[in-house]
């Protein structure tokens, strides 16, 4: 395989609130380095809300030097909230460290799991997001600094609902949904989003990003990352500039910051770094923690992410050095007892030959309206510990021109929290998800497009004269390159 260069593909934005902030911030700063009037607009937007009260905890920044920003994603819970947070006031759902580093010509991101077990100064041991409930951004900043040993230049707090408004302002986005997300009980927020590649607008995108039922904190964060990767990929700089006044209004309403960012000179320093980073690769420092439990409604059974002091300090050094972490985006233990592979399985690289259930999926898809001018491909191998979940979904996907394109999705699940992979087909010949493949490879006469994320193979796609198809990795990207390519190569028509 040829070496893969991060700079040749769209940047990957680690979490929802990072994207919500940077999408708006990039729009605000697109022309600001050339016009003080634009800088004043950003200052005026930030000035709509009071300064964050942080004490003397922030480090001063020098012109042209790297800066570390703490991004906090929070929301205010209404009294009638239906997701278990009624009457709890503001909560911090996202804690992200961002390193803008012109010397390394890259941006480093490290998100801290909200369920990370930490020592909160003055309060004792608890989940890190409890620091926000107890003492707001000030105590959260103090906790993060004590945990990581990092110096932080700025703190920016973004309300989750600003993301929904920003998505609506720039138009809907397309994203690849790994499985059905559904809940109609009062314990968690209502959601009903089917599997498959589809268009999402603000309210649905927010539901999808914040879904917690049956998921872990780790899986939830990665789902948010993927959603913002798609948003950044599909919204060009030109559109951001055109919509910047509307986005600035949202930015000002839903964002609070430290007082230094309301100073024109200090803001200009940060804007220059932000503008420089737009075309640079983003390197993710993957948080290496202990077991992540499944979120449940039982408040007496806390679910922690744990990490030793040595591990956290090692990650902090990777962050300062803008070093990306290799490998899958996380690992989880099986949910319940692991299902043994079938006795007649023929395994290779963790795969087993299986045609009966796959062919049945294809037949069901044809019975639902696929087939004919829309051939249905199904895999004849699968990961040995996986199985199909329900019938395939056959549906009409509205493309960028408003035309309805026949599509289908087959979903397989592994016995782990949040571990779903699948096969997608659509008559939309050029969906955004397949823009800019990392590599093209011909294997035994078939041409495949490989889409990498770091060193992991995220998608394997192929095209026929009538449709395009792809195999999607799990959210944690736990399927190896060998497995992904083998599954794609095994696909056939019924």
**Which pLDDT belongs to residue 103?**
78
Write out pLDDT tens, residues 7-23: 333 333 334 444 445 44
Q: Which one, of 414, 160, 114, 129, lies nearest residue 293 by Cα?
A: 114
- Using the predicted structure, report yes or no on whether residue 170 has a pLDDT greater than 60: yes
**Which pLDDT belongs to residue 492?**
97
**Which pLDDT belongs to residue 98?**
86
What one-character DSSP code corresponds to residue 151? -
- Band the pLDDT of 156: cuts 50, 70, 90: confident
Write out pLDDT tens, residues 242-278: 556 666 777 777 788 888 877 777 777 776 776 666 5
- Using the predicted structure, report yes or no on whether residue 353 has a pLDDT greater than 60: yes
298 token code pair: 């039982």
- Using the predicted structure, report yes or no on whether residue 389 has a pLDDT greater than 90: yes
**Which pLDDT belongs to residue 348?**
52
**Which pLDDT belongs to residue 331?**
60
How many Cβ atoms sit within 10 Å of the Cβ of residue 258?
24
- Using the predicted structure, report yes or no on whether residue 354 has a pLDDT greater than 70: yes
Report yes or no: 418 and 216 within 8 Å, Cβ to Cβ.
Answer: yes
**Which pLDDT belongs to residue 91?**
60
299: exposed, middle or buried (Cβ count in 10 Å: 0-12, 13-18, 19+) = exposed
Comparing 284 with 124, which gets the higher pLDDT? Answer: 124
**Which pLDDT belongs to residue 397?**
97
Q: Which one, of 99, 92, 74, 76, lies nearest residue 14 by Cα?
A: 99
- Band the pLDDT of 202: cuts 50, 70, 90: confident
What one-character DSSP code corresponds to residue 334? B
Report yes or no: 261 and 69 within 8 Å, Cβ to Cβ.
Answer: no
- Using the predicted structure, report yes or no on whether residue 33 has a pLDDT greater than 50: no
Find the helix or strand (DSSP H, E) in which 290 lies. none
**Which pLDDT belongs to residue 176?**
96
300 token code pair: 């007496």
Buried-state track 170-182, b at ≥16 Cβ within 10 A, e below 16: bebbbbbbbbbbe
Q: What share of the chain in percent tops pLDDT 90?
A: 40
- Using the predicted structure, report yes or no on whether residue 216 has a pLDDT greater than 80: no
Comparing 104 with 473, which gets the higher pLDDT? Answer: 473
- Helix residue ranges, H only, 1-87: 16-29, 36-46
Cα-to-chain-centroid distance, residue 440: 25
Write out pLDDT tens, residues 428-487: 999 999 998 999 999 989 999 999 987 889 999 999 999 999 999 999 899 999 999 999
Domain-wise residue ranges, the chain: 6-320, 347-490
What value does the mean pLDDT take over residues 59-70?
87
302: exposed, middle or buried (Cβ count in 10 Å: 0-12, 13-18, 19+) = exposed
Comparing 68 with 49, which gets the higher pLDDT? Answer: 68
What value does the mean pLDDT take over residues 50-60?
90
What value does the mean pLDDT take over residues 72-93?
51
Cα pseudo-dihedral 374, 379, 385, 387, rounded to 10: 30
Superfamily of domain 6-320: LCP protein (3.40.630.190)
Confidence (pTM) = 0.74
What value does the mean pLDDT take over residues 75-96?
52
**Which pLDDT belongs to residue 383?**
96
**Which pLDDT belongs to residue 302?**
55
454: exposed, middle or buried (Cβ count in 10 Å: 0-12, 13-18, 19+) = buried
Q: Which one, of 97, 85, 98, 92, lies nearest residue 140 by Cα?
A: 92
- Helix residue ranges, H only, 243-322: 244-254, 264-277, 309-320
DSSP strand pairing (255-257 vs 282-284):
unpaired
Comparing 39 with 380, which gets the higher pLDDT? Answer: 380
Q: What share of the chain in percent tops pLDDT 70?
A: 74
Write out pLDDT tens, residues 393-420: 999 999 989 999 999 999 999 998 889 9
């Amino acid at each position: 395989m040829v070496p893969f260069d991060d700079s040749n593909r769209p940047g990957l934005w680690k979490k929802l609130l990072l994207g919500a902030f940077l999408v708006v911030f990039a729009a605000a700063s697109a022309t600001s380095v050339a016009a003080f009037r634009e800088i004043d607009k950003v200052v005026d937007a930030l000035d709509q809300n009071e300064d964050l009260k942080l004490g003397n905890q922030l480090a001063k920044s020098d012109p042209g030097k790297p800066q570390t920003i703490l991004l906090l994603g929070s929301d205010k819970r209404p009294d009638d909230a239906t997701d278990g947070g009624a009457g709890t006031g503001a909560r911090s759902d996202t804690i992200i460290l961002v390193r803008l580093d012109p010397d390394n010509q890259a941006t480093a991101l490290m998100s801290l799991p909200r369920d990370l077990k930490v020592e909160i100064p003055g309060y004792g041991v608890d989940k890190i997001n409890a620091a926000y409930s107890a003492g707001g951004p000030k105590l959260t900043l103090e906790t993060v600094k004590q945990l990581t040993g990092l110096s932080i230049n700025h703190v920016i707090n973004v309300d989750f609902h600003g993301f929904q408004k920003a998505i609506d302002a720039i138009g809907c986005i397309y994203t690849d949904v790994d499985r059905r997300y559904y809940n109609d009980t009062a314990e968690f927020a209502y959601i009903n989003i089917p599997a498959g590649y589809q268009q999402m607008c603000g309210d649905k995108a927010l539901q999808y990003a914040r879904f917690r039922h049956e998921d872990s904190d780790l899986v939830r964060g990665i789902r948010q990352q993927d959603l913002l990767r798609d948003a950044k990929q599909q919204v060009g700089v030109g559109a951001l500039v055109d919509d910047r006044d509307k986005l600035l209004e949202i930015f000002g309403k839903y964002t609070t910051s430290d007082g230094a960012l309301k100073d024109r000179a200090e803001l200009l320093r940060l804007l220059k770094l932000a503008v420089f980073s737009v075309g640079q690769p983003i390197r993710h420092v993957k948080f290496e923690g202990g077991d992540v439990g499944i979120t449940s409604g039982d408040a007496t059974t806390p679910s922690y992410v744990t990490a030793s002091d040595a591990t956290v300090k090692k990650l902090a050094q990777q962050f300062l050095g803008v070093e990306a972490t290799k490998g899958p985006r996380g690992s989880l233990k099986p949910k319940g007892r692991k299902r043994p592979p079938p006795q007649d399985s023929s395994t290779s690289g963790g795969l087993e030959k299986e045609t009966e259930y796959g062919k049945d999926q294809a037949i069901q898809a044809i019975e639902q309206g696929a087939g004919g001018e829309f051939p249905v491909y199904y895999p004849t191998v699968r990961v040995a510990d996986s199985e199909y979940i329900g019938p395939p979904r056959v549906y009409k996907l509205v493309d960028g021109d408003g035309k309805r394109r026949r599509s289908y999705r087959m979903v397989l699940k592994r016995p782990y929290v949040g571990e779903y992979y699948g096969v997608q087909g659509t008559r939309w010949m050029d969906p955004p998800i397949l823009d800019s493949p990392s590599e093209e490879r011909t294997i035994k006469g078939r041409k495949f497009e490989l889409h990498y994320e770091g060193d992991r193979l995220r998608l394997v796609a192929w095209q026929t004269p009538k449709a395009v198809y792809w195999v999607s990795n799990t959210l944690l990207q736990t399927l190896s390159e060998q497995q992904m390519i083998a599954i794609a190569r095994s696909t056939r028509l019924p």
